[in-house]
Amino acid sequence: MSELNPYELREQFPILQQEINGKPLVYLDNAATSQKPLSVLDSSRNYYQQINSNIHRGVHRLSQAATAAHEAARGTIAQHLNARQPEEIIFTSGTTDSINLVASALGRSTLLKAGDEIIISGLEHHSNTVPWQMLCERLGTKLQIIPVLDDGTLDLDQYDQLLSERTKLVSVNHVSNAFGTVNDLHHICTQAKKFGALTLIDGAQSIPHFKVDLQEIDCDFYAFSGHKIYGPTGIGILYGRHALLCELPPWRGGGEMIKEVSFQKTTYNDPPFKFEAGTPNIEGGIALAAALDFVNDIGIEKIATHESLLITHLAQLLSDFPDLTLYGPPSRTGALSFNIKGIHHYDLGTLLDQMGFALRTGHHCCQPLMARFGISGTLRASFAAYNTIEEVEALGQALKKALMMLR
């Protein structure tokens, strides 16, 4: 397998050619959103220029062409994830929307009741915390939390102790957006199934960085956002087991999610359309499929290898800085978070921005995790296929310069 060439890839990303404050842009905020290659930008523009129309309901040629492109995108996404059938792929606005869909549908079903329990982890993004809190408040269910160990991994022994016949759902992320921790989904899902609990995986930070095989993971739901994997914002995916999607009630009403409507009764459509009320983000779905094609043309294994080298090298550089704390285990994926004693992460991030570096500061929508470590936030560098070893080296030099200014 030949190595990935990030310099050739960068030619496909016009935004990376610009300067910030007269300095070359070094974009290291990919965990928040990745940049988009020309193939994805062209896909979006071509849709609006050539086949813009509403889908599924029109007999005219443009509507049929848009419908075919949209449903072909669903098939591309199903194949990328190794789903059993395209009908298991629901278009949403993003990971947050996907998780809220499941929470709302479960709350309307007979699968949850007062006294039942939902398990999440201490590593979760707020989007995989707040919807479950809201559901528990409404139904009288109880939220249980898997503790986080000092190395930023989950305490799976405590997880095993939390599981019981009352457990109806386990919802955890695949990769932590804050620390880059990769969770042991085999253990988590296998143990949950012993108690008949459903499993939902937040894949927002895993889908850009390594191969995701739904048959291997064997979860009930999997969610991710297009903008994390070189696709547009405002588009996301919820995978659900087909039999389970058939059982769950819809969470929003409107057009497309129905078979028949009268003022006396409505008959709902089959999955996935039962969960796709209204006009979808047609262009977004098509462009997301183009983004997955982009990734597959490169090879996700090449991307994983390349990004691992970058993170490992940055961790080695940072280990030489006095009073610097790295968070998470050594085997991080996608992102690396750190703090320097006596320096606020916001101040450091602001100075780095003046030098052309785009990093993320703050709690990363993980306030409970930050509280676990007694910090307000971190400075986070996160990577994509187009980042280079020279950018890592430049970040190390910029950090030294920034620290001289702040101390």
Enzyme catalytic residues: 365
Bridge partners for 335 per DSSP: 382
For residue 395, the Cα-to-chain-centroid distance in whole angstroms is: 25
- Looking at residue 357, what DSSP letter applies? E
**What does the buried/exposed string (b/e) look like for 158-185 if buried means 16 or more CB atoms within 10 Å of the residue's CB?**
ebeebbeeebbbbbbbbbbbbbbbbbeb
* Four-point Cα dihedral 190, 160, 368, 382, nearest 10: -40
Q: Enter the tokens of residue 407.
A: 């101390």
Coil, strand, or helix at residue 276? coil
At residue 199, φ and ψ (nearest 5 deg) are -130, 135
Nearest residue to 365 via CA among 102, 129, 33, 99: 129
Please tell me the distance from the alpha carbon of residue 130 to that of residue 36, in angstroms, as a whole number: 30
Report the amino acid identity of residue 173: N
Burial of 42 (0-12, 13-18, 19+ CB in 10 A): middle
At residue 364, φ and ψ (nearest 5 deg) are 60, 35
Question: Which residue do the tokens 């007269």 mark?
Answer: 22
Burial of 297 (0-12, 13-18, 19+ CB in 10 A): exposed
Please tell me the distance from the alpha carbon of residue 119 to that of residue 136, in angstroms, as a whole number: 11
Please tell me the distance from the alpha carbon of residue 85 to that of residue 190, in angstroms, as a whole number: 23
Q: Enter the tokens of residue 246.
A: 């058939």
Coil, strand, or helix at residue 280? coil
Nearest residue to 238 via CA among 274, 266, 267: 274
CB count within 10 Å of CB 398 equals 20
Q: State the Rg of the chain over Cα.
A: 22
